[in-house]
Structure 1
Amino acid sequence: MSTKSTSVPLDLEGILARLEPHAKELGGLVVLISFLALWLLNQGSSKPRKVIDPVEWRSFKLVQKDHLSHNTARYRFALPRATDSLGLPVGQHISVMAEIDGNKVIRSYTPTTLDNDKGHFDLVVKTYEKGNISRYLSLLTIGQEVKVKGPKGKFHYQRNLVPHLVMIAGGTGLTPMYQIIRSSLQDPKDKTELALIYANVEEDDILMRKELEEMRDNSNGRFKLFPSLHLETSWLAAIYPSAFASLRSQFSALSRDNPLITRRAHLAKIGYPAPRSLSKLEDQEQHGSEDWERAGEGVSASSSGRLGKSVGVGAGTGWRSSKSRA
């Protein structure tokens, strides 16, 4: 006859509470038991978990700051546990909140890290002289915290969303694109051919150039990188109809069967609000796949201003719904 064994939960807090009055007599034994209790509690809570919440503001501590240019830095924030992930779908963003002069100020940012980057998340932010949150972040010292909420946004990138994806970005508008590129190239089942046209004013303004070039070099030709420093003749001009022929000649996949709708006037006609110079909480960095299908094959418009500028153009059989499976 077999007996079924049952495990009784160990009441570590209760044990420590009973030992506390005798701490003087027991000395090092209490210290040892306390250490073991903390270790056991940590072992029992090592299961990976997603930590951000779309409603509740949660605080995260700054643990590292790296200057990428004279006015842009990468801020690394620690998650509660080394096994935690932020819980942000690729293509979405988070809200960052701070109290400045008695007012709550909120801005949206896209982390450059993915959910397989455990224990931390990174934000690449350009500091503006009159920027509220960007200046607040630049003045943070190691150990200070920011409040974060999310995910935000309607767009969720999925593998093989389109056969070809051309992305156009300027400045810190790179961050949503960087996240998508990293995710796509890390996924062996994603066959999307990627191209990034990245415009900046000066050589030093090309953010994360080393990382971008490494991704390009290791992509087996799946990712093409076009950095540009001359805005008057740059690839960024290709977002306007007058330069459409030039863009199409460089990316043959963008054929006549897949027209591009890129002017603000056209975007306004299909329901997109005009971008504001200062991004607000309600702005979406990118619109969902269903909206892209509404607009015709290959339209995406991101918010501009503090977030930089970025546009995604898809070509192929058209955008799939975000609910479709690859």
Structure 2
Amino acid sequence: MREGGRPVWGGYLPGGGSAGCRGSRAAPCRRASPGRAASGASGGRATRAPTRETRRAWPARARSTSSPGTSPRPARAAARAPAAASSTNSELTPETFMPFIICSVDQLSEDTYQYTFELPENSRLGLSLGQHVVLRGLVNGLEVQRAYTPISPVNAEGYFEVLIKCYGAGLMSQYIKSWKEGDVVFWRGPFGGFPYVANKYGELFLLASGTGLAPMLPILKYITDNEDDETFVTLVGCFRTFENIYLKSRLQEQSQFWNIRTFYVLSQEHSLENLPWSFREKTHIGRINEDLIKSMMKTCRRQPFVLICGSVTFSEDMEKYLKAIGLGEESYFIF
């Protein structure tokens, strides 16, 4: 038996509350569009009726949106409204670096920060799901470029957010550590991306390590904002300790939806007893491996398509495990 007891992997069960969670969303930019805040809200909206297929897929316990002693689960948006006529994309281009102002800096862990950048009123960054942008930095006269995936919703207006881990000896990290509110930073893009189409996959199985969580957050938000998207999602986040789990409250909010599950694998945590009760059932202590992935995939409601994001070593290991399980290259995508 694993240390701390066996976690419960099965079913789409109600997620725990977010009390005591760290890593909450950064405050909105002061000059951002008033309509922006609504893009991240999920409460007060009508919950859709499940389809016939969904009713078959749900475990009986998950059909209720709430249970005695728990808070109601967040309702979905009734439908994604078309963009207002005044909403436009920013002037971001792949060829030319454009200036953006930092409007907030939030430290999420000892070495990881969330930066929020301003966009002109009513404008969007113009990225699709999974796309990244390239940052330019100057360190001791040397130009350095690095790619980062925004964590803000793709339809966010007036701002975008980036999650960045700083390394002690990294040239770009030296530049980033000097950032403060009001600084101007240069970005270009977008590049890459995952061509997601609603209901194309019965279930998405997301494997993320550390800041590899970045492309997964907009995907989760995109699915839960779309009333017509019946895709199930299982997110497996791999971190060193509980304290290293980024944006806990945002992840907890997403896990309240009927079709979203979140699990965590903590490689350097010592006991589940050190975790809040709402995380204990969905956390494994140790390292992710082939057997753990196989056991979690057996609980999927439908045939999963796998998304992978993390370090090169993490991605290579996950691909090796998936192939050992029997999945072909057409069954997964690596960011």
After the TM superposition, which residues 76-155 of structure 1 pair with which residues of structure 2 at under 5 Å, given as runs? 76-79=116-119, 81-155=120-194
Amino acid aligned to 2:101: K
* Aligned partners of 2:131 and 2:192 also within 8 Å: yes
Give the Cα separation in 2 of the matches to 1:152 and 1:261. 17
* Corresponding position: 1:225 with 2:265: no
Name the amino acid aligned to 2:300: F
CA apart distance, 1:146:
1.1
The match for 1:249 is 298
Contact 2:255–2:262 under 8 Å retained in 1: yes
Which runs of at least 4 in structure 1 moved beyond 6 Å after TM superposition? none
Residue 213 of structure 1 aligns to a residue whose secondary structure is helix
SS at match of 1:211: helix
Q: Which residue of the other structure, out of 288, 292, 296, is the alignment partner of 1:237?
A: 288
Q: Which residue of 1 aligns with 2:197?
A: 158
| Alignment coverage as a number of residue pairs | 222
| Structure (1/2) with the larger helix percentage | 1
Range that drifts further, 198-207 or 227-236: 227-236
**How far off is 1:249 after superposition?**
2.6
Tell me by how many angstroms 1:252 deviates. 5.2
2 CA distance for matches of 1:197 and 1:244? 9
Give the 3 Å change call, closer, same or farther, for CA 134–188 of structure 1 in structure 2. Answer: farther
Larger C-alpha radius of gyration, 1 or 2?
1
Residue 55 of structure 1: which of 76, 81, 95 is its match?
95
Q: 3-state SS of the aligned residue for 1:237? A: coil
User: How far 1:116 moved relative to its partner?
Assistant: 2.4
CA RMSD of aligned residues (A): 2.8
Higher relative contact order (CA 8 A, sep 6+): 2
Aligned to 1:187: 226
Tell me the TM-score normalised to structure 2 length.
Answer: 0.60
Distance 1:300 1:236, change over 3 A: farther
Contact map agreement 1:197 1:235 (CA 8 A) in 2: no
What TM-score does the superposition give when structure 1 sets the normalisation length?
A: 0.62
Cα deviation for residue 115 of structure 1 reads 3.4
Partner of 1:300: 333
What per-residue deviation string (whole Å, max 9, x for no partner) do you get for residues 241-279 of structure 1?
A: x55542333325348xx8x899xxxxxxxxxxxx757xx
Match of 2:217 in 1: 178
Aligned residues of 2:151 and 2:163 also touching (Cα < 8 A) = yes
How many angstroms apart in 2 are the aligned matches of 1:107 and 1:78?
20
Per the alignment, residue 13 of structure 1 pairs with none
Q: How does 1:34-73 map to 2 (within 5 A)?
A: 47-51=86-90, 52-73=92-113
Change over 3 Å in CA distance of 1:235–1:192 after alignment to 2: farther
Residue type of the partner of 2:265?
Answer: S
Q: Which runs of 5+ in 2 are unaligned?
A: 1-84, 270-283, 314-326
Query: For each residue in 1:137-184, what CA deviation from the matched residue of structure 2 results, as whole angstroms up to 9, or x when unmatched?
Result: 221121111111111005232222311001011111100111211111
Q: Using a 3 Å threshold, how does the CA distance of structure 1 residues 146 and 159 change in structure 2: closer, same or farther?
A: same
Task: State which drifts further: 114-123 or 88-97.
Answer: 114-123
Taking structure 1 as reference, are residues 182 and 211 closer, same or farther at Cα in structure 2, changes over 3 Å only?
same
Unaligned stretches of 5+ residues in structure 1? 1-45, 263-274, 278-293, 303-326
Question: Which letter does structure 2 place at the counterpart of 1:170?
Answer: S
1:83-124 C-alpha deviation (Å, 9 max, x unpaired): 111000112111111122222211111101123221111101
C-alpha distance 90-261 of structure 1, shift in aligned 2 (>3 A): closer
